[in-house]
Amino acid sequence: MKVLLLYPEFPDTFWSLKHALRFIRKKSAYPPLGLLTVAAMLPAHWSPRLIDLNVAKLTEADLAWADCAFISAMAVQRKSAQEVISRCKEAGLTVVAGGPLFTAEHEQFTGVDHFVLNEAEITLPRFLEDFEKGCAKRCYTTPQFCDIQKTPPPRWDLLDLKQYGGMGIQFSRGCPFNCEFCNVTVLFGHRPRMKSPEQMTRELDDLYRLGWRGPVFFVDDNFIGNKTYLKTELLPALIRWRQGKKGMPFNTEASINLADDAPLMGMMVEAGFDAVFIGIETPEESGLAECNKSQNKNRDLVEDVHRIQRAGLQVQGGFIVGFDSDTRSIFQRQIDFIQKSGIVTAMVGPLQAPPGTRLYERLKKENRLKGIFIGDNVGGTTNIIPKMGIEALNEGYRKLMLQIYSPKLYYRRIRTFLREYQAPEIRVPLDLQRFLALFRSGIRLGVLGGERMQYWKTLLWTFFRRPGLLPLAVTLAIYGHHFQKICKVLPS
């Protein structure tokens, strides 16, 4: 059986990082880990070929080669996913779809022969058995969650590694918290399920052996969901693994209570983590109470962020505006918070209700859903009717984004962050493209760019105050260039 594993194209979004990746001549931020994992579960006599449409074209020759197509997607890839499905159908392929978009909204899609939803570890074997017998059903689902200690290592060998800015690797699934707007617990449950340290070091070894030295993103919903296991099992193994290795800095996602645990942060840094994404959401206690983000309540969030930065972890943050309790003052409150905390990469979005979440169900009952869930939470659109009124939300949101990504505020944030940050030792070896990116940024941002004054001011400041952080300052400047481009196309 010849199978195409297809990953639809991302539009130009905040997280596509397309305008930044050009500086290092990469085409996409991360590969599709779900499909690489599914590939590892296919029968040995099947021949899989991966085509990530973000780095390569799907040609007629590819379609003619294949017997069937396996498609994975997030909501943000919806348009490209539908196009890919239609092309495969026209070429006479059997189309199989799975992953977060289809698990949440499969009934929206035409042209798919078989939906294999939820975790493939459970549903794929059932589908494969029926398929080989010629009696496959239209839809496979399960309310259960799998044992990820049995998940096979992803098929990295199917990738052209050079095309990507980073690699993803997964340690755990699930999150102990219960935020109203988040669909992670619906998709992956409350109880964090962890891989063994041996599984993790085996996956890292595979990547290292293939020559990967760039960043590795632990794509966990909450990396610190089980702190005891981390401290006693995983992190000691990662610290040992790292000895004698070059590059491969790690980053991940965690909850804010990471700030309470200095030994844990210390171990993470020693293991090679240098950045962490945290859902801050809002500095307003009323908004946090409303969305049940209890872990963020009654804290000095700015001080928490600084503590994490001082431990050696860059903090990237997620923020939301448009909670029912938000008034028009929220936009300025968010700007002030983001500036004070020195969160350079601040993902701010209007509140959205992903299908399957408790928020979606509540707003459906209140008749406050409108349009489809686009899935790009920094695109300036929403599928909810906010209490403050959609015009006020849109206008406030747009102004907020234009402000925080204006060169003046953005570069000021870089300096605030670099002042706090205690950089860990691990460095990505400076390959030719990263070296050239320094020059490209000098010309694109320092000569041609509207931000040139701020660019040189910040580089000079870093050179004199934190010279070791100069490459990081340039990297953040390049990210800023991407974010400014995204802000320019926000709907007005």
- Sites of contact with ligand B12 (CB under 6 A): 10, 13-16, 29-30, 32-35, 37-38, 70-72, 74-76, 96-101, 104, 116, 119-121, 124, 168, 170, 173, 182-184, 187-188, 219, 221, 347, 354, 375-378
21/469 with CB nearer ligand B12: 21
Give the nearest distance from C-beta 188 to ligand B12 in angstroms: 6
218/455 with CB nearer ligand B12: 218
Give the nearest distance from C-beta 340 to ligand B12 in angstroms: 22
DSSP state of 328: T
Give the nearest distance from C-beta 243 to ligand B12 in angstroms: 27
156/455 with CB nearer ligand B12: 156
Tell me how far apart the alpha carbons of residues 458 and 344 are, in angstroms, rounded to a whole number.
Answer: 13
72/383 with CB nearer ligand B12: 72
168/396 with CB nearer ligand B12: 168
Q: How many CA atoms lie within 13 A of 35 on its CB side?
A: 26
Tell me how far apart the alpha carbons of residues 218 and 220 are, in angstroms, rounded to a whole number.
Answer: 6
34/317 with CB nearer ligand B12: 34
CB of 277 closer than 8 Å to CB of 252: yes
Give the nearest distance from C-beta 57 to ligand B12 in angstroms: 18
Q: Do the bridges between strand 273-281 and strand 193-194 make them parallel or antiparallel, or are there none, so unpaired? A: unpaired
Give the nearest distance from C-beta 425 to ligand B12 in angstroms: 25
139/438 with CB nearer ligand B12: 139
| 446 closest CA partner among 431, 436, 457 | 457
249/354 with CB nearer ligand B12: 354
Tell me how far apart the alpha carbons of residues 486 and 248 are, in angstroms, rounded to a whole number.
Answer: 28
DSSP class per residue in 385-439: --TT-HHHHHHHHHHHHHHHTSHHHHHHHHHHHHHH----S------HHHHHHHH
183/296 with CB nearer ligand B12: 183
Tally the residues of the chain: 492
Q: Which residues of 204-236 are buried (b: 16+ CB within 10 A; e: fewer)?
A: bebbbeeebebbbbbbbbbbbbbbebbbebbbe
Give the nearest distance from C-beta 472 to ligand B12 in angstroms: 19
| 316 closest CA partner among 14, 74, 33 | 14
Strand partners, 218: 169, 252
296/462 with CB nearer ligand B12: 296
Give the nearest distance from C-beta 182 to ligand B12 in angstroms: 5
CA separation, residue 122 to residues 344, 400, 436 (Å):
40, 44, 46
Helix, strand, coil in percent for the chain, rounding step 5: 50, 15, 40
CA separation, residue 288 to residues 117, 283, 307 (Å):
32, 8, 21
Give the nearest distance from C-beta 88 to ligand B12 in angstroms: 12
| 5 closest CA partner among 102, 125, 88, 100 | 88
Give the nearest distance from C-beta 125 to ligand B12 in angstroms: 11
Give the nearest distance from C-beta 224 to ligand B12 in angstroms: 14
